[in-house]
Amino acid sequence: MTTSYEIWHTRLVQIGIAINLLFVVGLCFFPRQLLDFLSIPLEHLIWARASGMLLFIISVFYIPPTWDLKRYRAVAWFAIFPSRTFGATFFTIAVFVFGHPKGFLSIAIVDALIGLSTCYCLWHVTQAEAASGSPVPLK
């Protein structure tokens, strides 16, 4: 039985992947324009393109839980902890503690919003499974 929290988890993960792909396209194909828009200085654009490629690879790993949340439960939790959590924390600290350009907050905001909302849904899915006596193990 699919609950509304499972459906929303899938939708939110897919929205997060779509947003990530916007960054991927910008970083790989239009790095100067994207970085200028975000007011992020960067001399060697290869680093922006490499970041875009890595973001694409990370985003691919978010896909399996959208196919089958029970089978890929551990991947769903890894997408939240450490992936989205670390991204949001890293860029927030980079801006507010180390004084990097505020354009990096766009990454922190996306990761925080998607991470918190998917965590909320996944937590409710887990609680409902435990209440029904059929918890899904992490393996």
CB neighbour class for 22 (10 Å; exposed up to 12, middle 13-18, buried from 19): exposed
Q: Which two tokens stand for residue 69?
A: 């949340």
Q: Is 90 exceeded by the pLDDT of residue 136? A: no
Q: How would residue 138 be classed by pLDDT, with cut points 50, 70 and 90?
A: confident
**Residue that the structure tokens 């929303």 belong to:** 8
41 CB contacts (<8 Å, ≥6 apart)? 35, 101
> Cα(44)–Cα(37) distance, rounded to whole angstroms?
17
User: What is the pTM (predicted TM-score) of this model?
Assistant: 0.92
Query: What per-residue confidence (pLDDT) applies to 28?
Result: 98
Query: Tens of pLDDT along 17-76?
Result: 999 999 999 999 999 999 999 999 999 999 999 999 999 999 999 999 999 999 999 999
* CA neighbor of 2 nearest in space, from 94, 106, 124, 139: 124
Query: What per-residue confidence (pLDDT) applies to 137?
Result: 84
